[in-house]
Amino acid sequence: MAASSSVFTASPSRNFASVPLHQSLSPPLLRSSSVAFRPKRRSSSLLLCSTDETKSTAEKEIPIELRYEAFPTVMDINKIREILPHRFPFLLVDRVIEYTAGVSAVAIKNVTINDNFFPGHFPERPIMPGVLMVEAMAQVGGIVMLQPEVGGSKSNFFFAGIDKVRFRKPVIAGDTLVMRMTLVKLQKRFGIAKMEGKAYVGNSVVCEGEFLMAMGKEE
């Protein structure tokens, strides 16, 4: 097949013997003076890696005690004591960090070696009892229920049952137990409420389940 004369046909007067071998084998387009050199663009993946490395370096320069913000306080322990009837050693909620009236609450329990259940559970391997995790979550549920939006009263409010409870990981001294309780069904006529709860340590779910709450009639 004949090639285009505008590209491959040389002038009759051109002496090919004087043309270096590497030029004679090069595509004519690359030898054209009309083609400008364009630098390669940096790959976006390289830019991302560079940004991540810079961010990582910046984080390392910040002391670890200054890297993380404290949990917010929506309700402190004094407000919690006004709502819940529980007292030492059975008040298992330290702070409410998020609250949506009549819908949900997120609260924390700071687990320390000074908690009175650790000497017996267990002396050689202190682990927070699962039943106390469930109780702590139920107390967070009580904070949602014992509000005017729902109509509960601490004189006639009861933790009535649990279902589908799973314990995923052990909770130990030094952990911060973060508990979210959400009201999913309320039957005021019968004084029954269903709630769903999850408890976390860091990003890991350590306990979850469904809770049944009961509200008696005011006398």
170-183 residue pLDDT tens: 999 999 999 999 99
Q: 121 catalytic, yes or no?
A: yes
CATH architecture of 77-215: Roll (3.10)
**46 token code pair:** 């390289």
Under 8 Å CB-to-CB from 155, ≥6 apart: which residues? 85, 218
Cα separation, 157 vs 85, whole angstroms:
10
- 20 has pLDDT over 60: no
pTM equals 0.71
Q: Express each pLDDT in 103-145 by its tens digit.
A: 999 999 999 999 999 999 999 999 999 999 999 999 999 999 9
Quick one: how far is CA 19 from the chain centroid? 68
Q: How far apart are CA 168 and CA 180, in angstroms?
A: 16
Averaged pLDDT, 186-200: 93
The domain segmentation of the chain, as residue ranges, is: 77-215
- With vertex at residue 114, the alpha carbon angle to CA 112 and CA 118, rounded to the nearest 5 degrees, is 85
Query: Which pLDDT does position 61 carry in this prediction?
Result: 87
With bands split at pLDDT 50, 70 and 90, how would you rate the model's confidence at 41?
low
Among the listed residues 81, 86, 121, 194, the single catalytic one is: 121
- Give dist(CA 138, CA 62) in Å, integer: 38
The C-alpha angle 112, 198, 209, rounded to 5 degrees, equals 115
Query: How high is the pLDDT of residue 72?
Result: 93
